[in-house]
Amino acid sequence: MASVRVLVVEDDHAIRRGLVDALRSSGYQVTEAADGARGLDEAVKPTVDLILLDLLLPRRDGFEVLAELRRQRPTVPVIILTARGGENERVRGLKMGADDYVVKPFSARELLARVEAVLRRSGGRATDVKGARLGRAVIDFQRREIRWSDKDRSELSEMEAAILSFLLFHRTRAVSRDELLSQVWGISPQGLETRTIDMHVARLRTKLRDPARRKPVEAILTVRAQGYMAAPDLVPMEQDGLKR
């Protein structure tokens, strides 16, 4: 656990102190923030591995922080901590990309178990994938764009960038639709229609077609009865290779 850094964003000093102490005693490295603005500043740092996020925060509320965080770091694990226990609030948070939802009051033992479970589920996330090359195209996941030239560009949505980076990170195997729902959307696939995954992939394939080529370079392969897989022509790139 020593290499795992958890950020606690909670305005109640007593609760925040209890969370920080419990996490540190379990071997986690911990940073903390008492308001949403400071929490977001810390959360977007690549050194943070998991975020515990309260909803009722000063300066910027938790939903606002989560929305912006999903734009900048679409795959970092987030557990919402809140006194709002209603179903609508839980569903809203999960649909926005939260990985779990813990209603106050909760025990330190329960919280630590949730943290461990989320880290196990998200251990293979594509948090370090900066971009890729596909033929002459450069795909920048942080800017969420595809560049064929200075004048020829296409934008990626938050979910499109997250799906593509996740497939690229796991490029040696096929990724099921259920895994994409769980790891990219942050929601349980049980009982849900996975057609939305197919629609996003179809849009991605259209956006990734080079306008200067008649025959497109394949970016995403369909693996029968298994899901989707990054094509061999989709090559990961380091941050320095993205600058143009």
Question: 122 versus 30: which is more confidently predicted?
Answer: 30
Note the helical H segments in 8-105.
13-25, 36-43, 62-72, 87-95
Average pLDDT, integer, range 94-109: 85
Exposure of 228 by Cβ count < 10 A (0-12 exposed, 13-18 middle, 19+ buried)? buried
Domains of the chain by start residue, with CATH: 5-121 (3.40.50.2300), 131-242 (1.10.10.10)
In a 3-state reduction of DSSP, which class is residue 119? helix
pLDDT for res 2: 43
Q: And the tokens for 9?
A: 């964003």
pLDDT tens-digit map of 178-194: 888 877 776 666 666 66
Separation of alpha carbons 144 and 11, rounded Å = 32
